[in-house]
Structure 1
Amino acid sequence: MKTHFKTIVISDVHLGTKGSKAKEASRFLKQYSCENLILNGDIIDGWQLKKSGTWKRKHTRFFNRMLKMIEQENTKVFYLRGNHDDFLDQILPLQIGNLSILADMIYESNGKKYFITHGDIFDSITTNLRWIAYLGDMGYTFLLWLNRLVNYHRRKRGLGYFSLSQYVKGKVKSAVSYIDQYEEELAKMAKAKNCDGIICGHIHKAENRIIDGIEYLNSGDWVETMSALAEDHEGNWQLIYYNEMDFSQDKTDSVQLIPDTAPTENVRELKTVAFNKLNDGLTPPNFM
């Protein structure tokens, strides 16, 4: 039987890139059911698809899994725009049945209110100096390529996985300072919006902690960390790491159904498109 959560948040899957752990992300979603699935930005990497990225079948399967959750489990899906999938600016806000595409949202649950955003809007480098952001993206892509090479040799020697980019982030003082400042600024934004917490992604660093009385929740990524946030029906949040999951028993045969208690969203009026059935087959969008 699947474990049933009220809400699951994942971000930074970067579909269309070599580093994307799309297969693992799809397998993760098969293990759980939820009332609300929030895809918090950078799910599709439009930047890489414009340059050298490749769309593969496993990337389409991720969306097929999402559509099955909508159709078979009546899951409400909220896709929030990130900086790498900023092509969504052309269509948002948009609602198609249980799928909503938004810039950001307010999520209310168990008497608490959370501001949910990918997080790039608070990154002045990404917002105001786009060419520097692209340069940083190139450097990160190179680190991921080097990371695959390092871990290939580690596997041959019987050693475990090593995250080169996380190691570099931890050693470079400017990177550590940037992450600290980023987390503090988002906590301030949540407080300014009279929210109890902030849920974000963007910096590929999973976190669940209190900053100046504000719950700071970061879902991590599906390039290296392979983590997600999950909320139970009592309003408790936890980080789930794919590498710590137990796949010894098949949980996909049945689902424990929970009465629908969907959250109240404080979002702009959405455009609505009627449809009878979602199409299982997906093709990647055109970013040119």
Structure 2
Amino acid sequence: MKKRKVELVVISDLHLGTFGSHATELYTYLSSIKPKVLVLNGDIIDIWQFRKSYFPQTHLKVIQKIISFASKGTKVYYITGNHDEMLRKFSDMNMGNLALVDKLVLELDGKKAWIFHGDVFDASVQHAKWIAKLGGLGYDYLILINRFVNWCLKQLGKEPYSFSKKIKASVKKAVKHISDFEETATDLAIEKEYDYVICGHIHEPKIMEKENKNGKTLYLNSGDWVENLTALEYNKKRWKLHYYKQHEYQEDENLFEMEDLVSDQLLQSILITK
């Protein structure tokens, strides 16, 4: 199976353990790449919404894939977010190629990249956590309903529709929140003389250059794997936003399944031998 070699991949807001997480699509994407460095930029396992009764095999396979990357030489950075903030008590821990951190600075071809989740800018998370958690629960069920509606639309041969995107676009306060978030992140990055500032948190994938009187920086947001299914990829001094499109992977999905089947059979044969 041919895999794309990528120097750096940044993904965030997987929200594993929730109904809205597109773990199957994420696993397919991860199976198609061979990154030198993988950055998990927060809200990977959704501890806020964690249910003992809901953590399907597809979600577990994503975790196994990430561990597999680290065991095969990929440097994996897990940056904590607000939905997995319980892990912050273990920050700055290193286990081979896997590092758990709250923020990260990488040098990329002579330029500095400042990477963090972004919840530090969110007043609702910092000062009224119970409201944010309640909102997260409502959002989770909204996404679940949306997925059912989109399944029905697919049966009718119609394009999918995003409830959350429509709400964000129509609510002025939400639009202003995103704008304020981006401005705060870029102003701080310019002040600290970072060439790139990379965030997640707001589920808004974007690459844009921002400039003020003190200088300029490139703002990047890796988006999420609930609504947008996006990843940031860095190769040969260039950034790009990768959008998952099912038809591009359809031919390979059977190969991924065969790869898993062979691995499972190999494991079983080893256990039987022992």
**For residues 250 and 189 of structure 1, do their structure 2 counterparts lie closer, same or farther at Cα, with a shift above 3 Å needed?**
same
Whole-angstrom distance in 2 between the partners of 1:12 and 1:47: 13
Q: CA deviation at 1:35?
A: 0.7
Matched, 1:246 2:245: no
What is the DSSP-based 3-state SS (H/G/I as helix, E as strand, rest coil) of the residue aligned with 1:229?
Answer: strand
How far apart, CA to CA, are the structure 1 residues paired with 2:68 and 2:143?
31
SS of equivalent residue, structure 1 residue 195: coil
Relative to structure 1, the CA distance from residue 210 to residue 247 in structure 2 (aligned partners, 3 Å threshold; closer, same or farther) is same
Give % identity: 38
Runs of 4+ in 1 over 6 A off after TM superposition: none
1:150 Cα deviation (Å)? 2.1
Counterpart CA distance in 2 for 1:134 and 1:70 is 31
Counterpart of 2:230 in structure 1 is: 227
How far is 1:247 from its partner?
2.1
Does the aligned pair in 1 maintain the 2:105–2:112 contact within 8 Å?
Answer: yes
Contact residue 17 and residue 53 of structure 1 kept, 8 A: no
Structure number with greater CO (CA < 8 Å, separation at least 6) is 1
Alpha-carbon distance in structure 2 between the residues aligned to 1:230 and 1:75: 15
Paired with 1:69 and 1:56, the residues of 2 have a C-alpha distance of 21
Q: Is the 8 A contact 1:2 1:33 kept in 2?
A: yes
Q: Deviations over 1:99-129 (max 9, x none)?
A: 0000001111012111100000111211122
Mapping of 1:179-258 within 5 angstroms?
A: 179-212=178-211, 213-232=216-235, 234-243=236-245, 246-247=248-249, 250=252
Map Cα deviations across residues 227-284 of structure 1 (whole Å, 9 max, x no partner).
000000x22000001116622554989xxxxxxxxxxxxxxxxxxxxxxxxxx9xxxx
Q: Identify which range, 124-133 or 15-24, moves more after superposition.
A: 124-133
Deviation at 1:226, TM superposition (A): 0.5
Match status 1:161 vs 2:160: yes
* 2:96 alignment counterpart: 97
What is the SS of the residue equivalent to 1:9? strand
Distance 1:164 1:219 in 2: 20
The one-letter amino acid of 1:70's match is A
Which range moved further: 102-111 or 242-251? 242-251
Contact 1:114 1:190 in 2 (8 A): no
Does the C-alpha gap of structure 1 residues 248 and 222 become closer, same or farther in structure 2, counting only changes over 3 Å?
A: closer
Match of 1:173 in 2: 172
CA distance in 2, matches of 1:161, 1:178: 26
Work out the CA distance in 1 between the residues paired with 2:138 and 2:114.
30
Contact 1:16–1:53 at 8 Å: present in 2 too?
no
Q: How far off its partner does 1:17 sit?
A: 0.5
SS of aligned partner of 1:246: helix
For 2:59, the equivalent position in structure 1 comes to: 59
- The 3 A distance-change label for structure 1 pair 53 and 45 is farther
State the SS of the aligned residue for 1:77: strand
1:193 Cα deviation after fit:
2.1
Q: How does 1:9-28 map to 2 (within 5 A)?
A: 9-28=10-29
Per the alignment, residue 79 of structure 1 pairs with: 78
Looking at structure 2, the residues matched to 244 and 205 of structure 1 have their Cα atoms a distance apart, in angstroms, of 20
Q: Is the 1:18–1:53 Cα contact (8 Å) retained in structure 2?
A: no
Deviation for aligned residue 1:23: 1.3
Q: Tell me, which stretches of 5 or more residues in structure 2 are unaligned?
A: 257-266, 268-274
Return the alpha-carbon distance in structure 1 between the equivalents of residues 161 and 53 of structure 2.
Answer: 24
What is the count of residue pairs matched by the alignment? 251
Q: TM-score, normalised by structure 2?
A: 0.86
Match of 1:271 in 2: none
TM-score, normalised on structure 1? 0.82
Q: Supply the AA of the counterpart residue of 2:192.
A: K
Residue type of the alignment partner of 2:37: N
